[in-house]
Structure 1
């Protein structure tokens, strides 16, 4: 049991060390009477640019907590009951074979981690390389345009999130979120992610965290195999019986499919063997870049470069009147760079990435437009995937090949002319860029929606749209999976027993934390049904 205090404030020049003193004053006790003190949540209130504040929720352990709260009668002070969580009890079924996990992104990583911690000794197969070798392969692609279709920004240890901002925000409310964050901290992530309002790790630190979690899985009896691609799932009497990996058959009755949102060849294999899936809504658009100084000044005013404040973020939404489609920012990367993120030859896609310091000159974000299944031609459950491929091919051709990205100033895009001269914002995209008309690699309704959106966003952040030097880079298509692989209440595929579609690639998550939580949920279902090995 502890006392939760909400809405404790510090001004921009007050140090965090003052929080404990302020908590004691709020409770009308001595600071010495506080036995334990923990920051639960930190957020920034920048509504008044001349009076920026940090807002905190903290937990305090002391004597006579209930009496203190009762006497105060303060709505911001309440008892926090740290209820005991009952230990998960394993089931009584006997596993014929060790559980197998396909993919070592967040969903696969946390499925395997929990299974290993509970004594199930999982086997993990990841088509890409370990994070160190993967980094070398990706950097080679960024400098030369030579793509490895099996190890790239989308595939490999850590999943697509390993080359991103390492953003740990989520809208889901689930007790497992704290478990994921705690696991990250134990594996080397900064402890501040436990309470920051918008926590992030950064691609540089995240790589080490992922590696440490992998080593924990191995130390507990699990196996991790890289450059190991799932080629086929064998089904017998409606159940998984074995899988083919790199041409070799592996006996398997419990198969976790944490393949990520870009495993298109795996989607095709699943469709061929009759696994039920259906297209789902997602979004496509472009990456935009602005100077980070512009974004931070808009958020923080004259305090924009204060040492207590980090590179500012934004979240923008609008509904286009001409198309009735949502236009919004996605995966905003403060102080970051735009990177080539292709996973298939002759198809171009870009993404954003930040290091932990977020200290690069540009801010970038996807600005995307909502797409629904009605926009896809044909009846195939993979028609959304074919839609993505079509526009990625157009973007590749528009850039002139070798994964050179088409680029255009936002103002020129709105005016309908090809850019011939940049302003203050220089594109950071790798391996290179060329000035092009981006309407030629986007659906017409997406272009029209984006133009409206930029005009609207310019009213919210002056200089964001036609009045500034912002730059667009095409094309962003991997906002989420193009399919959902249907599953039952036990998280098994409705088509095949023993097959567990997991995470973002199965259509059940939308980011690092939600994918990791889904992985934990899958592991729990296996644990509740089967005995440890």
Structure 2
């Protein structure tokens, strides 16, 4: 149990040591009485660009915590006993075979870690390569356009997040989030992710972090197999019996399915064996690039170059009344690059990526418009997936092949004309680009929605609507196109022993929320079965 104090502010040039003094003043005690002082949240308050503040939440320990909190009568001061302790008790049912975890993205990684920590020695199978080999494979794709269908930006150790920004921001309020961050720090992530309001690891560091967690799983008795693809699930009397992996049958009763949002052949297999799924909404659009310096000035004004301010980010939303759709920025990468993220032959997808330093010339973000089942042709539960495939195929064709991306300047996009030359913003996309008209690879309502959105966003960030901002097509993988429906025990409603989880199952929207969902599934398995 600790005391949490919110809304302590410092100026950009104030010494961080002043925080302890401010905390003791708020509590009306001496600084010497404060024990185990810890920053738990740091955020930037830039509402007044002439007086930008750093705002903190801190935790302390004191010998009379409840008495102290009751005495000060301050809404910013409270007792905090919400820490997550993974103390779930093992169940009584016999587990004849070790649990199997499919996928080594954040959901699978943390499900396997929790199971390993509790003595269940999981088997983890991942269709892609380990992160070192995968990095070589992806680099080759970015240089040559030669795509590996089984190991790429979407598939492999760490999941899609390994080639993104490593953003750890989440909207969920769950005490397991702190556990996830703590485990990431133990594995080599920067300590500051535990308290920054918008924490990120960076692609360069995240690769080593996921590798270190994998090593911990193995050290605890687990096993990890790469280049191992789930091909089929066998059942008996409505229960998981075994799985087929690379042609071999593996018996199991508890199967964690952390497949990721791009495992389309796995979705097709699940549909073929009668696993109940529901189509769901997602969003599609483009990547937009601006000079990072312009975004910094737009967000921080004259203080943009202050050393205590990081590369500025943004989160923009707009609701189109005429279209009845949301338009928003997504997966914003300050000081980052736009990269090829395809996982299927002759289908083009773009994504954003930042290294930890976030010091590249451009900022980029997805700029997307919501779409839903009513927009998808046909009646198949996988019609959203086919919708994605259709527009990715068009983007590949419009880009001229070999995974070159269609690119259009914002001014030309707004005026419905194909670009012929660049302005001051240079596209960062690899392996290359071709000037194109985005109307040839996006639905008309998405094009119109982006136009409306940009007009609105230009009033929020000066220069956002500049004519030479670069649009790179296309972004389609904002979230899974289906939800694999599950019951209160977190099992598939179609098949006992199958535990869908994470972003690919439709239950998460980022690294942290996916990791938390993986932990929840692991807890249900632990509660049901005895240790191995």
Tell me how large the CA RMSD over aligned residues is: 1.3
Q: Give 3-state SS (helix, strand or coil) of 1:40's partner.
A: strand
CA 1:525–1:84: 2 relative to 1, 3 Å: closer
1:428 corresponds in structure 2 to 428
Q: Any idea what SS the aligned residue of 2:207 has?
A: helix
Q: Provide Cα deviations, 1:457-502, integer angstroms capped at 9, x if missing partner.
A: 112112212x342110000000000111111111111111111111
Where does residue 38 of structure 1 map in the other structure?
38
Separation of aligned partners in 1, 2:194 and 2:453: 34
Task: Report 1:73-92 matches (<5 A).
Answer: 73-81=73-81, 87-92=87-92
Q: Which residue of 1 aligns with 2:108?
A: 108
Equivalent in the alignment of 1:13: 13
Provide the rounded CA distance (Å) in 1 between the counterparts of 2:86 and 2:318. Answer: 44
> Which residue in the other structure is 2:371 paired with?
371
Count residues with an aligned counterpart: 532
2:84/2:175 contact within 8 Å kept = no
66-75 vs 203-212, greater mean Cα deviation:
66-75
Higher mean C-alpha displacement, 238-247 vs 1-10 = 1-10
Measured at CA, do residues 234 and 61 of structure 1 come closer, stay the same or move farther in structure 2, by a change above 3 Å? same
1:56 correspondence with 2:56: yes
Aligned equivalent of 1:381: 381
Q: Secondary structure at the match of 1:38?
A: strand
Contact 2:162 2:203 in 1 (8 A): yes
SS at match of 1:487: coil
Which aligned segments of 4 or more residues in structure 1 are displaced greater than 6 angstroms?
none
Task: Compute the displacement of 1:86 (Å).
Answer: 8.1
| Matches of 2:456 and 2:227, distance apart in 1 | 46
- Pairwise CA distance, 1:83: 7.1
71 and 338 in structure 1: CA distance in 2 versus 1, 3 angstrom threshold:
same
Local SS of the residue matching 2:472: strand
Residues 322 and 449 in structure 1, CA contact (< 8 A), matched pair in contact too: no
Q: Which residue pairs with 2:485 in the alignment? A: 486
SS in 2 for 1:348: coil
Cα contact 1:322–1:448 (8 A) shared by 2 = no
Please state how far the C-alpha of 1:19 moved relative to its aligned partner.
1.3
State the distance in 1 between where 2:85 and 2:421 align: 61
1:286 is matched with which residue? 286
* CA positional deviation for 1:372: 0.8
Deviations 1:39-82 (A, max 9, x none): 11111110111101011111122333344334433332233346
Residue 359 of structure 2 is matched in structure 1 by 359
Structure 1 residue 106 displacement after superposition: 0.4
TM-score (norm 2): 0.98
In the TM superposition, residue 272 of structure 1 has moved relative to its aligned partner by 0.8
Other structure's SS at 1:506 match: coil
Tell me the distance in 2 between the aligned counterparts of 1:518 and 1:488: 14
Partner of 1:452: 452
Of 284-293 and 25-34, more deviation after overlay is shown by: 25-34
Q: Report the alpha carbon displacement of residue 305 of structure 1 after superposing the two structures with TM.
A: 1.1
Aligned to 1:347: 347
1:212-243 deviation digits (Å, cap 9, x = unpaired):
10000000000000000111111122111111
In the alignment, which residue of structure 2 is the partner of 1:531? Answer: 530
Contact residue 128 and residue 152 of structure 1 kept, 8 A: yes
**Within 1, Cα distance between the matches of 2:325 and 2:81?**
44
Q: Confirm or deny: 8 A CA contact 1:486 1:493 kept in the other structure.
A: yes
TM value normalised by structure 1: 0.98
SS at match of 1:460: coil
Alpha-carbon offset, residue 445 of structure 1: 0.9
Partner of 1:28 in structure 2? 28
The one-character-per-residue Cα deviations of 1:181-224 (angstroms, maximum 9, x if unpaired) are 11101111111111111111111111111001000000000000
**What does residue 494 of structure 2 align with?**
495
Q: Deviations over 1:249-302 (max 9, x none)?
A: 111111111010000001111111111112100000000000111111011001
Q: Describe the shift of the 1:50–1:84 C-alpha distance in structure 2 as closer, same or farther (beyond 3 A).
A: closer
1:171 counterpart residue number: 171
Alpha-carbon offset, residue 530 of structure 1: 0.2
